[in-house]
Chain A
Amino acid sequence: MRIYLMISYCIVFFFLMSGISKADENTPVSQKISKPQVELNKFCKIKVDILNPKHFKDAYLEAIEIRENFCNPLNAESRNAQKYVINFYKHLNEVISLEDIDRIQKSEINELDKGPGLTAFNYDFSEDKTRMNIVYVDISRDSISKCEQKAKSISSTMECSDLMDEFNGIFEIVFGPVAIRDVIDHYLYTTNLGQEWDDFIELSKPQTIWERYVNGRIFSNKNSDDGFLPPPEKQLIFLHPGLAFENIGAAIDGDEVKESFSLDIIGVNWWKRDKWYAPSGISLTAIYSDRADIDDLGYGFSLHFKSKFFIGVSRHGSENGVFASFDLIELFKGKLKIKESYKAFF
């Protein structure tokens, strides 16, 4: 009896000392990646398309210059590419009316100040070509005519849409620097989160399908529209079966140590445990093994380690037992047989 009490006290002592109520905070599991500059360098290495514009020659030269300034690390001021984008619409002046250009620029200033930011260039025609949008701004019929006439003046087979496509290819050179910064930030954010989830898959306690469902319901209650979420710090343990070796000293000779089935009825596991000796979880456990003169079914509690192994104490009627998970014993197997190594452990 005293040995069981001593083991119980040791378990509780370890439990309290390890601060099981909090996950380890000073030992990050994953390596954080934070290299926006690396990604910016990669962006600046992307070759700008060498275009032979039929109409927007000046626009192309200006776009190249803007891009080169942006990618010059000594030129911090031009890193703010937004103003160049709004101004760049001036190059449509021979294709659509100045009033329409002004309306596009005002719309974009509004989107920058109050909306989700500048718009990547796009255009649409209605099926009958009587309506046209540029970045979702309606373009006048006069401008549509002007655009078609300009296209035809360059080539009889050219259409307004060809001019728009040419402008788009040049606009992308200027727009890329506007778009890239937030994409880099988001990419690093999802890369780091992805690593945290990989760690979770690797290190967390394997769960049954019910546990997956219950934990999923708990997680989904936190699933707001604030973006992507990291993995949960803890896992609810619920009706989790296992295999163990249990020792009941009061059993008849030869029956003390037995293979047993365990069922963690309810518990919790913190999977981000770095130290092997710090318990990762605790659960209320039912444990069964067939012995003469001892109740087959006992109840107790388990401490989990590294989200995989467990040790615990049990009570079968009036008799006490201690148990350890099957795979914990496997660790000590070595050259000894399972039972001998278990006895050696205790």
Chain B
Amino acid sequence: MAKKLIIVPGMGNKSAEEFKVEVSDAFKNAFNLYQKYYGMSAEDFVEIIPFEYNDIFDQDREKMSNQAQPIVDRLDTLDSLDNGSESLTKKAIEEISKIEAGINDDDFFKTHWLDVFFYRFTILGEMVRIKLSNLIDKSILDLGGNAQRLHILGHSLGTSVLHDTLAKQYSDQFQTSKVKKLSVNTHKLGSLHLIANTSRVLESFIKVNLSTVKPGRRGCVHKYLEYRHIFDPITWPRAFNPSDNGNWISSDSWNIFKRYKLQRLTSVTNEHGNVHDINHYILNPLVHRELFSDVFGIKLTEDEKNEGYENYYSKTFGKVADDLDESLSKLKSFNIENIKGLFKSIKALKDFVEGAGGDFL
């Protein structure tokens, strides 16, 4: 029976199809590092199913903007309001309407920051979680109930969406309620791959170290892998760093059977230093080897691993890595251990990438 890989994108205004193409291309580039797999694609091994949620936010942004624009068009007639409560009312109408009318502009702030705002601070977040849960349910149904053939990959904000959805969808208890959650035993997923994990900095209704989103016996996945680039500042605020004390997962799961892995990446292969980009992550052997093994069922030989590494290493930019490290050093002097810090981090990387002539999407 086939396997499926659900992919959950991060911030931005990519459609589901665009993100699927991006991930497929990233895997193609990874396969091309190996002569035996040259020219192959991920779809040769697994069905890739993209999840789209920023269309929900886009729809809402458009509604807000359309409502406010007629008001903004008439604002100059408010000028006669100039005392006490009149000027306060005028100010309120002016400012609110201008913000709302501009909310649909396609600049970075609107497309990226608003995604985080809408997901984390508005009720639309629940709608997103329900849609993703429905997609996961449908995928398991299509796999004949065998959830271990389903694997999920999340990137950036997508990791928060993914974590929160699974936390609500799965239970590790014996259930008597009318609508049961999925069981961490019976419906355990094959593997979870979190690229640039933001689930802890954006956590809301449950702390990430207390949820069912973990590997092993009482978790909703068999294996849990996280990928973090040391120069990706978006992963710095409140990074999720579980410890091996038997609280989160058993010592056997951690040490003996390696059901949890955190891959720390250091190489830079993007000439503009966009280390947050999903292509950049997947190209790194530390990332794609895990996906090859757990999702595609490909076991590389030692010679193949060496071949892949050599071909990858020839693509690295040492100077870009040094420049990026220096540029981000200023960020370390701020307290970025919160959502505001996340935005500072996003901006810092964006400024560097665009300063180097690249696009930060």
Q: Are B122 and A206 in contact (CB under 8 A)?
A: no
Q: B122 to chain A: which residues have CB within 8 Å? A: 212-213, 215-216
> A289 to chain B: closest CB distance in Å?
8
**Which of chain A's residues have a CB closer than 8 A to the CB of B175?**
116
Q: Smallest Cβ distance from A99 to chain B, in angstroms?
A: 20
Q: Is B60 an interface residue (CB 8 A)?
A: yes
Which of A121, A220, A226 touches B204 (beta carbons < 8 Å)? Answer: A220
How far apart sit A326 and B70, CA to CA, in the bound complex (Å)?
A: 10
Count: A-B pairs, CB below 8 Å: 225
Complex Cα distance A190/B103, Å? 30
Q: Is the CB of A209 within 8 A of B103?
A: yes
Q: Is B252 an interface residue (CB 8 A)?
A: yes
Residues in B whose Cβ lies below 8 Å from that of A117:
174, 183, 185-186
Give Cα A216 to B169, complex, Å: 21
Determine if A212 and B137 form an interchain contact, defined as CB atoms under 8 angstroms apart. no
The SS class assigned to the B binding surface is helix
Interface stretch of the complex, out of A13-21, A239-247, A337-345? A239-247
CB closest chain-B residue, reference A207:
B64
Q: Are B145 and A179 in contact (CB under 8 A)?
A: yes
A133 adjacent to B257 (CB under 8 Å): yes
CB neighbours of A113 from chain B (8 A): 174
Q: Determine if B130 is an interface residue (Cβ-Cβ < 8 Å).
A: yes
Contact at A223–B77, with CB atoms within 8 Å?
no
How far does the alpha carbon of A200 sit from the alpha carbon of B126 in the complex, in Å?
12
B222 at the interface (CB under 8 A from A): yes
Number of B residues near A (Cβ < 8 Å) is: 81
Stretch with Cβ within 8 A of A (4 or more), from B10-18, B78-86, B269-277: B78-86
A288 within 8 A of B: yes
A175 lies within 8 A of B78 (CB) = no
| A172 contacts B1, C-beta separation under 8 Å | yes
State whether B185 touches A183 (Cβ < 8 A): no
Q: How near does chain B come to A44, taking the closest CB pair, in angstroms?
A: 10
Identify which of residues 68-120 in chain A touch chain B, using a CB-to-CB cut-off of 8 Å.
111, 113-120
User: With a CB–CB cut-off of 8 A, which chain A residues contact B81?
Assistant: 288, 296-297
**A157 to B122 Cα, complex, angstroms:** 57
Q: Are A126 and B93 in contact (CB under 8 A)?
A: no
Chain A residues within 8 Å of B56, by CB? 201
Q: In the complex, which residues 119-150 of chain A have their Cβ closer than 8 Å to any Cβ of chain B?
A: 119-122, 124-127, 131, 133, 136, 138
Asked if B168 CB lies within 8 Å of chain A CBs, one says yes
Known: A120-B187, A225-B168, A243-B70. A210 touches B96 (CB 8 A): yes
* B206 interface residue per 8 A CB criterion: yes
Per-residue interface assignment for chain A, residues 217 to 241, with 1 indicating a CB less than 8 Å from any chain B CB and 0 otherwise: 1011001111111011000000101
Ranked 10 nearest A-B pairs via Cβ = A179-B145, A187-B137, A180-B145, A176-B145, A190-B134, A216-B122, A116-B183, A124-B257, A119-B185, A197-B127
Can you show 19 pairs from A to B with CB atoms below 8 A apart? Answer: A43-B144, A115-B172, A115-B174, A183-B140, A190-B137, A194-B130, A194-B131, A201-B56, A212-B121, A212-B122, A213-B122, A215-B123, A223-B204, A225-B205, A241-B100, A286-B89, A288-B89, A290-B80, A297-B81
